[in-house]
Amino acid sequence: MKENKGNPLHLSSLNHISLVCKSVDESTHFYQNVLGFVPVRRPGSFTFDGAWLFGHGIGIHLLQSEDPKSMPKKTVINPKDNHISFQCENMGTVEKKLGEMEIEYVRQRVEEGGVNVDQLFFHDPDGFMVEICNCDNLPVIPLTGEMGLIKTGDYHEVKAVHVELAERMRKVRRVYFFYYDFHNTITEKHEFKYVAERIVAQYVFNEKGSHGGTEYGVLRNLVHLKHMPG
C-alpha cells in the first residue's frame, strides 16, 4: 500500500462498532443496562435480526449470529485481547457498580511519568472485552515527526484544547439530560437523547460541519450555555 500521511480519507469521527452476538436481546440488555446505551431505530429494510444502540458519542450495532452455538465463549479476561474502552468520571463508583451487578472483572494500573491510569476489564455476554478507565489522566503526546500534524512543542496547546472539549461535553450532557426529563414517553426520550447526542457530538468535534434541522440550532445554543439550567 502506498504510504500516506495526515488524514487522506478525511475522516471526522468514529460512527459505530458492529458486533455479532449469540442473542440480540441479551446483548441489548447488557449494553443498555450496564454501559448506558440507548436503543434507537434501525432501518426497516433490513431482513436480518439485530439492534442498534447509541451512547457516549458512538453507536453499537448488534447482529444476530446465524449459528450461535458455534460462537466461541471466552472465559479468561485478558487485558491484551481486542476491546473497546470507555472513559469514566469515577473509577471507584464503576468498580462498586460492577460488584453490585456481580460482573467479574480484572483490575489493572498503568504508571507512566508519575501519572496513574486505572483500568477495569470485563466481558460482554459474548466474551467481547470492555474496558472502563480514567485514561484522560495520561496525556496524548504525538511522536516527533509522526503524521506531520502536531509539533512536539505544541503539546500543551493540544492538551488545553482537549480539556476544553471535554468540559464542553460535560456541560452539554447536563443540558440535554435536563431537557430529557420533560419528554414523557419512552419513545420520545429515546428519540430526544439520540438526536441530542448525535448533533452535540457533531457540533463539538466538528464545528465546520452542517446540519439542516431546527434541533441543530437549539442544541447549538445549548452548547453556548444560553439556556443552561442552574
Residues that are catalytic: 131
CB atoms near residue 229 (< 10 Å): 10
User: What residues form DSSP beta bridges with 110?
Assistant: 117
Strands 58-64, 50-55: pairing is: antiparallel
What are the φ and ψ backbone dihedral angles of 126, each rounded to 5 degrees?
A: -105, 10
How do beta strands 16-21 and 58-64 pair? parallel
Please give the backbone phi and psi of residue 178, each rounded to the nearest 5 degrees, phi first: -65, -50
What's the CA gap between 117 and 112, in Å, rounded? 8
Phi, psi of 49 (to 5 degrees): -75, 140
In the sheet that holds 115-123, the strands lie side by side as 83-87, 129-133, 115-123, 106-112
Chain-centroid distance, C-alpha 201:
11
How many C-beta neighbours within 10 Å does residue 136 have?
14
86 touches 130 (CB < 8 A): yes
Q: DSSP class of residue 19?
A: E
